[in-house]
Amino acid sequence: MTTTSSAPGKVYLFGEHAVVYGEPAVPCAIERRARVTVTERDDDRLRVDASDLSIEGFTVEYGGSTDERPAVDVPPSLLEAATGYVDSAVAQARAAADRPDAGFDVEIESEIPLGAGLGSSAAVAVAGIDAATRELGVDLDAREVADRAYRVEHEVQDGEASRADTFCSAMGGAVRVEGDDCSTLDAPDLPFVVGYDGTGHDTGELVAGVRALREEYGFAADTVAAIGDLVREGERALEAGDVEELGRLMNFNHGLLSALDVSARTLENMVWAARDGGALGAKLTGAGGGGSIVALDDGDGVETALSLTPECAETFRAELATAGVRAE
């Protein structure tokens, strides 16, 4: 038997980085998905085919213990991208099914660039857990998949993860996350435009950098708290359907993230190009350090402006993904 699940990526309206410290965040799922196909083996080994992860693909096979690392001649960061989240997701599926020795062939396909701030790792973890548990005859509801996927990110990111990305990917739509309190939100189909600079980043390193600033400077801690206050204001604008106010608050949020030193020249140039192109608001999305920006624009001005920006490798309109994790 073979089982496939998919899960969407995400953009942040508000709140990345601050959500790690218990402040609220509002991510929105977008209709770009990761698909994970799982086939149970008759031994306890894992075979991971990462032929389509917006990276140079390869296939590895290794022993049944997820503590083992495959011996292949690739850079460590590439290896981690292809196997780290899968290892932990498989461990979660084995635990959920009480099948500690289950082996799998795992194939990963993704429309979400790795390390781009669009939730690739969360989507792979969510889809991987859902597919592997269903392959073993266990159906988990979306909230349990989200909880187990959060444990994956928490482990792989050395305890620095929040529940935001995995909950958003599992549930779909717009969500609110504040600590362990996760809920879905009613939201219009906001006119998202995404710009991507073609680079990736190390989320853990960027989160650790904000933590160091926050511990060293009181005003950095105040900046994190100010992002939380901004998110609460943004929730009211979202509830009222006030897209212009959402845009103003996105601009404000970007400035606070820049103050926390998680922006980059490529992101700044894309943000300003989007604003010059008529965006109601534009900000980086995700951990920063490179990757993606998200803008609000119901015309074609932002897409045109970004397509003419040298730092922008790809731009696309992103529809809200109303469905989270699902069987394919």
Q: What is the pLDDT of residues 295-324, one digit of tens each?
A: 999 999 999 999 999 999 999 999 999 999
Tokens representing 54 are: 């917006």
β-bridge partners, 3? 38
Q: 86 pLDDT band (50/70/90 cuts)?
A: confident
Q: Is residue 326 situated within a structural domain? A: no
Has residue 150 been placed in a domain?
Answer: yes
CA distance 97 to 111: 29
Which CATH number does the domain housing residue 207 bear?
3.30.70.890
pLDDT of the residue at 302: 97
- For residues 33 and 181, membership in a common domain is answered with yes
Distances (CA, A) of 108 to 45, 59, 200, 284: 17, 10, 18, 26
Q: Are residues 77 and 180 in the same domain?
A: yes
255 and 309 share one domain: yes
In this structure, the answer to whether residues 66 and 25 fall within a common structural domain is yes
Together in a domain, 134 and 200: no
Q: What is the pLDDT of residues 259-278, one digit of tens each?
A: 999 999 999 999 999 999 99
Same domain, 181 and 55: yes
Any domain includes 324: no
pLDDT of residue 13: 96
- Residue 23 counted as domain residue: yes
* Contact in structure between 315 and 116 (CB atoms under 8 Å): no
- With cut-offs at 50, 70 and 90, classify the pLDDT of residue 51: low
Looking at the fold, whether 25 and 154 belong to one and the same domain comes out as yes
**89 and 196, same domain (yes or no):** no
More confident: 48 or 201 = 48
Only one residue has tokens 């693909």, namely: 57
Same domain, 29 and 64: yes
Active site annotation includes 242 = no
Q: Please report whether residue 276 resides in a domain.
A: yes
Residues 149 and 196 in one domain: no
CATH number for the domain that contains residue 68: 3.30.230.10
Are 142 and 255 within one domain?
Answer: no
Mean pLDDT, all residues of the chain: 89
**Spatial distance between the Cα atoms of 326 and 206, rounded to a whole number of angstroms:** 31
Question: Of the residues 154, 186, 218, which one is the last residue of a structural domain?
Answer: 186
Mean pLDDT of 109-127: 87
Asked whether residue 196 falls in the same domain as residue 53, the answer is no
Residue 53 scores a pLDDT above 90? no
SS (H, E, C) 215-239: HHCHHHHHHHHHHHHHHHHHHHHHH
Residue 75, in any domain of the structure: yes
What is the per-residue pLDDT for 58?
42
Confidence of residue 64 (pLDDT cuts 50, 70, 90): very low
Of 186, 208, 226, the residue at which a domain comes to its end is 186
Evaluate whether residue 102 is within a structural domain. Answer: yes
Identified catalytic residue from 165, 181, 242, 276: 165
Range(s) of the domain holding residue 170 = 2-186
Percent of the chain with pLDDT over 90: 72
User: What's the rounded mean pLDDT across residues 122-144?
Assistant: 96
User: Considering the domain boundaries, does residue 215 fall inside one?
Assistant: yes
